[in-house]
């Protein structure tokens, strides 16, 4: 398990979620996970001086990530930027781990998130850490 956790911590992953989850992503980074999302350090009101620069940075960070983790809770809908980020990941062939505690997605449309979650690059996980461990193990 330690080897798998170390491998999961070494993965460069992009964190996609509503801004209200920024503290969670920072805690994971503090615990040794390689969170590549710079937006988590400017998630407060008015902390981003240039949104155009932010979106160019986001695009680069998504493209350079090994995997994107989308975290969503029932109260997070409708998603905004996180959907754009997942679209960027799919366009760049970056795998996506969806962690969605308490959410229900109804086929065939998979509302409220969308049918894109059935893309072959997408997988679900019970938790962020579990998803990263499972992903790391499959990359060996």
pLDDT bin (cut points 50, 70, 90) of residue 1 is low
CB 77 within 8 A of CB 20: no
In terms of residue numbers, what domain contains 27?
A: 2-138
Number of domains in the chain: 1
CB 98 within 8 A of CB 117: yes
As a whole number of angstroms, the distance between CA 130 and CA 132 comes to 6
Cis preceding-peptide flag for 112 (omega within 30 of 0): yes
Please say if the pLDDT value at position 49 is more than 90. no
- Cβ neighbours for 24, distance < 8 A, ≥ 6 positions apart: 17, 71
CATH of the domain at 91: 3.40.50.450
pLDDT at res. 83: 97
Token representation of residue 38: 């710079």
Question: Element (H or E) spanning 95, and its range?
Answer: none
Please report, rounded to a whole number, the percentage of residues in the chain having pLDDT higher than 70: 99
pTM, rounded to two decimals: 0.95
């Amino acid at each position: 398990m330690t080897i798998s956790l170390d491998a999961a911590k070494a993965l460069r992953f992009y964190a996609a979620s509503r801004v209200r989850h920024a503290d969670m992503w920072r805690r994971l980074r503090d615990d040794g996970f390689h969170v590549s999302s710079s937006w988590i350090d400017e998630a407060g009101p008015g902390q981003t001086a240039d949104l155009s620069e932010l979106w160019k940075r986001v695009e680069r960070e998504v493209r350079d990530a090994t995997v994107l983790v989308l975290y969503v809770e029932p109260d997070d809908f409708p998603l905004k930027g996180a959907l754009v980020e997942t679209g960027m990941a799919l366009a760049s062939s970056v795998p996506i781990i969806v962690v969605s505690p308490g959410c229900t997605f109804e086929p065939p449309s998979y509302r409220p998130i969308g049918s894109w979650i059935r893309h072959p690059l997408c997988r679900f996980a019970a938790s962020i850490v579990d998803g990263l461990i499972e992903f790391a193990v499959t990359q060996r």
